[in-house]
Amino acid sequence: MTLADRVNTFGQVMVARHGERVHKIAIDAGFSCPNRDGTKGRGGCTFCNNISFSPNGRKPPSIANQITAGKRVIHKRTRARKFIAYFQAYTNTYADIGHLRVQYDQALAEADVIGLSVGTRPDCVPPAVLDLLAEYRDRGFEIWLELGLQSIFDTTLERVNRGHSLVEYEQAVRAARARHLNICTHLIVGLPGETECHVIRSLDHVLALGVQGLKLHPLHVVKGTRLANDWRQGEYRPLSYEQYIHTVADLIERTPPGIIYHRITGTASREILLAPDWCACKWKVLNGIESVLRHRHTRQGSHCGPGLFPSTVLAGSHTDDHRQCIVSSL
Ligand code: SF4
């Protein structure tokens, strides 16, 4: 058995839906971020590498060139012939709607690009943006809205300087669901001050709100971040490899089988990664998660079902939840 036998991966869902492999091509369309320029906050998230962040100086290659290069590399590696343009860098809805349409249209005009995946912040998806994505979906494109939430706990979101709260995420999900858009929510495992209890409660809440996809990342410390300073001063200790693979296995078991996992780990290039070093070994992490599930004889959905979502979570009582998690971690 492979990981795909135990986890409902994006790759296998795309094969079932489109009849062949579909891969995402990461795009940097030159957007900036409202958590950097003072609109929502300053300094950015404490874990975000902003070394190259310079809205006026950063000029990525054209979208067409990025897609051409991405297709060549991915086709050579996987033989995939269909692609989704993944607007990944920074906040990809942070511009006026006319500019967004031009950027997205450029990507969709490329041969073999069958859709978009748009990564953004929950406080940056006004109705016009959601309507635009729904319009592409209605034209037959595969469309995903990727919302970076990371944690449902406002104390954590403040600690890492996210510049938004849970409420904005909930509003964004409701607005996107009203348009039947596919939502993929990003959660981080190992945030400062959090235990496994916190991330389990985050997962439960996100599932209760209703999303179609999830991405899990380990928090990694990269150069040029405030988190790197905290780590150097001993104020932040990253998760161990064992902690991560066991926590992710727990999360997968709690997730209903139909939810699509777009990613269950994340990597950073060795040039900027400070800790934990295992983050650089993507396949070791994926194999480790599969091994934990295999030894437990479990898979996605093994531990989900009625009663999964405690009423306190649905009611949004996160102050109490936070206390519960702290107590349970002692
Ligand atoms: S992680 Fe995303 S939201 Fe946070 S500062 Fe970086 S680009 Fe902005």
pLDDT at 55 over 70: no
Q: What is the mean pLDDT of residues 63-70?
A: 97
Mean pLDDT computed over every residue of the chain: 92
Burial class (CB in 10 A: 0-12, 13-18, 19+), 117: buried
Q: What is the mean pLDDT of residues 31-56?
A: 81
pLDDT at 206 over 70: yes
Which residue of 28, 32, 35, 159 sits with most ligand 1 atoms within 8 Å of its CB, as the best mutation to test the pocket? Answer: 35
- Report the separation in Å between the CA atom of 89 and the middle of ligand 1, taken as the mean of its atom positions: 9
The answer, yes or no, to whether any atom of ligand 1 lies below 6 A from the CB of 92, is no
| 193 vs 215: CA distance, rounded Å | 21
The answer, yes or no, to whether any atom of ligand 1 lies below 6 A from the CB of 164, is no
pLDDT at 37 over 60: yes
The answer, yes or no, to whether any atom of ligand 1 lies below 6 A from the CB of 264, is no
| 174 vs 166: CA distance, rounded Å | 12
pLDDT for position 318: 54
Q: Would you place residue 326 in the very low, low, confident or very high pLDDT band (cuts 50, 70, 90)?
A: low
pLDDT at 54 over 80: no
* Per-residue CA distances from 61 to 3, 72, 74, 165, 232 (Å): 35, 15, 18, 33, 35
Q: Would you place residue 269 in the very low, low, confident or very high pLDDT band (cuts 50, 70, 90)?
A: confident
**Residue identifier of the C-alpha nearest atom 7 of ligand 1:** 90
**Residue identifier of the C-alpha nearest atom 1 of ligand 1:** 48
- pTM above threshold 0.85: yes
Say which residue, 289 or 269, is predicted with more confidence.
Answer: 289
What are the structural domain ranges in the chain? 3-329
pLDDT for position 325: 76
pLDDT at 5 over 50: yes
pLDDT digit string (tens) for 245-264?
999 999 999 999 999 999 99
Q: Where are the alpha helices (DSSP H) in 139-281?
A: 154-159, 166-178, 196-209, 226-232, 241-254
Q: Would you place residue 270 in the very low, low, confident or very high pLDDT band (cuts 50, 70, 90)?
A: confident
Q: What is the mean pLDDT of residues 74-79?
A: 93
Q: What DSSP character marks residue 62?
A: P
Cis-peptide, bond into residue 276, ω within 30° of zero: yes
How many helical (H) and strand (E) elements, i.e. helices and strands, does the chain have? 13, 9
Structure tokens, 38: 């003072």
Please report, rounded to a whole number, the percentage of residues in the chain having pLDDT higher than 90: 85
Which residue of 52, 121, 157 sits with most ligand 1 atoms within 8 Å of its CB, as the best mutation to test the pocket? Answer: 121
Buried b / exposed e over 265-277, threshold 16 CB at 10 Å, is bbbbeeeebbbbe
- Report the separation in Å between the CA atom of 126 and the middle of ligand 1, taken as the mean of its atom positions: 18
pLDDT for position 50: 61
- Report the separation in Å between the CA atom of 150 and the middle of ligand 1, taken as the mean of its atom positions: 11
* Per-residue CA distances from 75 to 12, 64, 190, 261 (Å): 17, 16, 34, 22
| 271 vs 300: CA distance, rounded Å | 34
The answer, yes or no, to whether any atom of ligand 1 lies below 6 A from the CB of 137, is no
- CATH match for 3-329 among 3.40.50.300, 3.20.20.70, 3.30.70.1560, 3.40.640.10: 3.20.20.70
pLDDT for position 268: 86
pLDDT for position 309: 45
If phi > 0 it is left, if psi is from -120 to 50 it is alpha, else beta; for residue 2 that is beta
- Report the separation in Å between the CA atom of 46 and the middle of ligand 1, taken as the mean of its atom positions: 9
Q: Would you place residue 177 in the very low, low, confident or very high pLDDT band (cuts 50, 70, 90)?
A: very high
- Nearest-CA neighbor of 256 among 316, 306, 219? 306
Measured in whole angstroms, how far is the alpha carbon of residue 150 from the centre of its chain?
A: 8
pLDDT at 317 over 80: no
The strand pairing partners of 151, in sequence order, are none
pLDDT digit string (tens) for 103-150?
999 999 999 999 999 999 999 999 999 999 999 999 999 999 999 999
